[in-house]
Amino acid sequence: MTSSRTPRSLTRKPPERLFARLLDSLADTYALVLDDDLRITYANVSFLKHFGLKWEKIIGRPCQDLGTPFLGTDALKLGFCPEELSPWYPARTLMTREAQDKVHVYECTLNHLEGRRGAAWTLWSLRDVTDRFRLESRVRQMDELERNLVQASMDGIIVNDMLGNVLIFNDGAGKILGYTPEEAIGKIKVYKFYPNNTAREIKRLIYDPAHGGAGILENYETQARHKDGSLVPIWLSARLLHEDGREVGIVGYFRDLRERRRLETELLRSERLATLGKMVAHISHEIKNPLITIGGFAAQLGRLPDLPEDARRRLNLIHQEVQRLEKFLTDMSAFTRGAPPQKTVGDLPALIREVAELMDSGFKERAVVFHLHAQKRIPPFAFDCGQIRQVLINLFKNALEAMPEGGDLTVSATVQDDDLVLKITDTGHGIPPEQLHNLFTPFFTTKPGGTGLGLIICRGLIAQHQGEITIESVVDRGTTCTIRLPIVSA
């Protein structure tokens, strides 16, 4: 009678057969249903099969009676169930069990279900998660030699389990990605080291036989994400790790491509310069002779008596412009010719002083004060005096041109390791950051009458001495040009 008044939805309970069928359909979950007294009222098919038990033997038995011993996290021997199951028993625990000399790890979940008339049921389900922990224990067992091999690798090496937990993260990986192994291992999921969907794509390619074979990915060019958020181009090889035929993890080896990219750009540039050089040589040759004729005649005509003043002025202008063009051509061929240096042992500070004297009138004109700080004992070394003079002139000129209102031009010469380090610092207007990477591009200039060849000539000449030239600058503060020359004793 009462039931007819209760809404149907409340009285409806899943038919018991259906409930049993549902539990039986869970292939990877071993489920046990216990009543109020912790007696077994149901065990699903997977459970019986996995633990090798017969239904008739366990039905109605207290679950503690089941023989299979488990070990709790505190190494306590447990039965299937602890003596007492109460709502405050942890809902999810890990237990281990030894069978056939193998340790299995299970994740156990408890669900308390209120039944009708206050009867309580407990659903006790276990999942075998041994695979997840197998690789980890293998990693723990790695011997010192293996550890050292991984550590010493220049490549980045990361090993992760199938859930993406990082188990190995060597120093090489640290250098490329910016994390310490302590920050990465067990704390960061491996996909975090890649932008957006890259990790998923990598995983797909590992399984795709077209990329080095199934389970292998060879030399794949992609990007990793550095701790600071920047993207690093890398070369990645990866392999699936198996144990007993099961996939347990992935090992990735990767190499930083930044240096390689830089060299490629450099090579491209030097190729371009070489082509440019040939063109310039050809053009100069074609232009120079007529230019000399034009300039020569203009000068001659300009000296004629009885010339109207206006004509003389224009002829002078022709002569001056022709001279400017000639100088431009000389500059161009200087940087493209690249004559091998004629090195002799010389006194570099003396050369610096000489160039400063040469330009003294220019310094005075612009109220620029010159300072030289040379380290006391600079070992004599061999360099091409003419070429280094050219470098100094170009750099001093740039410094002067950056200080129209005056300032300081400071040159320091020190020995660091096996290099002579020259720093040429001005207090001029500086270079905006977006222009810094253009400085060594031929014809890049911000000056109305500039050729944009001064710095590239310097770089060519310094390179001929196996040296390096770099420029740092802060707008409105000034610019420092650093030259490193290897000291090769003659």
Structure tokens belonging to residue 198: 């890259």
Structure tokens belonging to residue 132: 């997840």
- What is the rounded distance in angstroms from the CA atom of residue 452 to the CA atom of residue 398? 11
Element (H, E) at 352: helix 348-358
C-beta closer to ligand ADP: residue 156 or 428: 428
Q: Which does 447 bind (CB under 5 to 8 A by kind): ligand ADP, Mg ion, none?
A: ligand ADP
Which of 158, 167, 439, 483 touches ligand ADP (CB under 6 A)?
A: 439
> In degrees, to the nearest 5, what angle opens at C-alpha 151 toward C-alphas 148 and 153?
110
Q: In the bound complex, what is the minimum distance in angstroms from residue 443's beta carbon to ligand ADP? A: 8
Q: Which does 72 bind (CB under 5 to 8 A by kind): ligand ADP, Mg ion, none?
A: none
> Minimal CA–CA distance to 467: which of 349, 387, 412?
387
C-beta closer to Mg ion: residue 407 or 454: 454
Q: In the bound complex, what is the minimum distance in angstroms from residue 369's beta carbon to ligand ADP? A: 16
Structure tokens belonging to residue 68: 């299979």
Region binding ligand ADP by CB under 6 A among candidate stretches 63-71, 181-189, 275-283, 452-460: 452-460
- What is the rounded distance in angstroms from the CA atom of residue 24 to the CA atom of residue 17? 10
Region binding ligand ADP by CB under 6 A among candidate stretches 140-148, 355-363, 368-376, 424-432: 424-432
Q: In the bound complex, what is the minimum distance in angstroms from residue 456's beta carbon to Mg ion? A: 10
Position of minimal CB gap to Mg ion = 454
C-beta closer to ligand ADP: residue 296 or 450: 450
Which residues, at least 6 apart from 268, have a Cβ–Cβ distance to it below 8 Å?
A: none
* Whether 253 contacts 155, CB under 8 Å: yes
Region binding ligand ADP by CB under 6 A among candidate stretches 16-24, 262-270, 289-297, 422-430: 422-430
Which of 184, 217, 236, 455 touches ligand ADP (CB under 6 A)?
A: 455
Region binding ligand ADP by CB under 6 A among candidate stretches 91-99, 299-307, 407-415, 428-436: 428-436
Q: Say if residue 458 is exposed, middle or buried (CB neighbours under 10 Å; 0-12, 13-18, 19+).
A: buried
C-beta closer to ligand ADP: residue 72 or 452: 452
- Cα 106 → chain centroid: 39
Position of minimal CB gap to ligand ADP = 454
B/e letters for 342-369, b = 16+ CB within 10 Å, e = fewer, are ebeeeebeeebeebbeebeeebeeeebe
Region binding ligand ADP by CB under 6 A among candidate stretches 28-36, 239-247, 370-378, 449-457: 449-457
Interface with Mg ion (CB under 5 A): 398, 454
Region binding ligand ADP by CB under 6 A among candidate stretches 107-115, 195-203, 405-413, 423-431: 423-431
Q: In the bound complex, what is the minimum distance in angstroms from residue 394's beta carbon to Mg ion? A: 6
Q: If binding is defined by CB under 6 A, does position 411 make contact with ligand ADP?
A: no
> In degrees, to the nearest 5, what angle opens at C-alpha 470 toward C-alphas 466 and 474?
170
- Provide the residue type at 172 as one letter: G
Q: In the bound complex, what is the minimum distance in angstroms from residue 328's beta carbon to ligand ADP? A: 10
Q: In the bound complex, what is the minimum distance in angstroms from residue 386's beta carbon to Mg ion? A: 18
Which of 61, 447, 486, 488 touches ligand ADP (CB under 6 A)?
A: 447
- What is the rounded distance in angstroms from the CA atom of residue 63 to the CA atom of residue 95? 16
Structure tokens belonging to residue 10: 């409340």
Q: If binding is defined by CB under 6 A, does position 431 make contact with ligand ADP?
A: yes
Q: If binding is defined by CB under 6 A, does position 444 make contact with ligand ADP?
A: yes
Which residues, at least 6 apart from 471, have a Cβ–Cβ distance to it below 8 Å?
A: 431, 436, 439, 455, 479, 480, 481, 482
Element (H, E) at 273: helix 258-302
Backbone angles phi, psi at 165, to 5 degrees: -75, 130
- What is the rounded distance in angstroms from the CA atom of residue 400 to the CA atom of residue 203? 58
Which of 412, 452, 464, 468 touches ligand ADP (CB under 6 A)?
A: 452
Range 101-120, binding ligand ADP (CB under 6 A):
none
Q: In the bound complex, what is the minimum distance in angstroms from residue 421's beta carbon to ligand ADP? A: 18
Backbone angles phi, psi at 415, to 5 degrees: -105, 125
Site string for ligand ADP, 379-408 (x = CB under 6 A): ---------------x---xx--x------
* Whether 359 contacts 394, CB under 8 Å: no
Q: Name the β-bridge partners of 159.
A: 168, 251
C-beta closer to Mg ion: residue 198 or 390: 390
Which residues, at least 6 apart from 80, have a Cβ–Cβ distance to it below 8 Å?
A: 32, 63, 64, 66, 68, 70, 124
Region binding ligand ADP by CB under 6 A among candidate stretches 15-23, 63-71, 358-366, 440-448: 440-448
Q: Which does 186 bind (CB under 5 to 8 A by kind): ligand ADP, Mg ion, none?
A: none
* Whether 119 contacts 36, CB under 8 Å: yes
Q: If binding is defined by CB under 6 A, does position 161 make contact with ligand ADP?
A: no
Q: Report the interface residues with ligand ADP, using CB under 6 A.
A: 394, 398-399, 402, 426, 428, 430-431, 439, 444-447, 450-455, 479
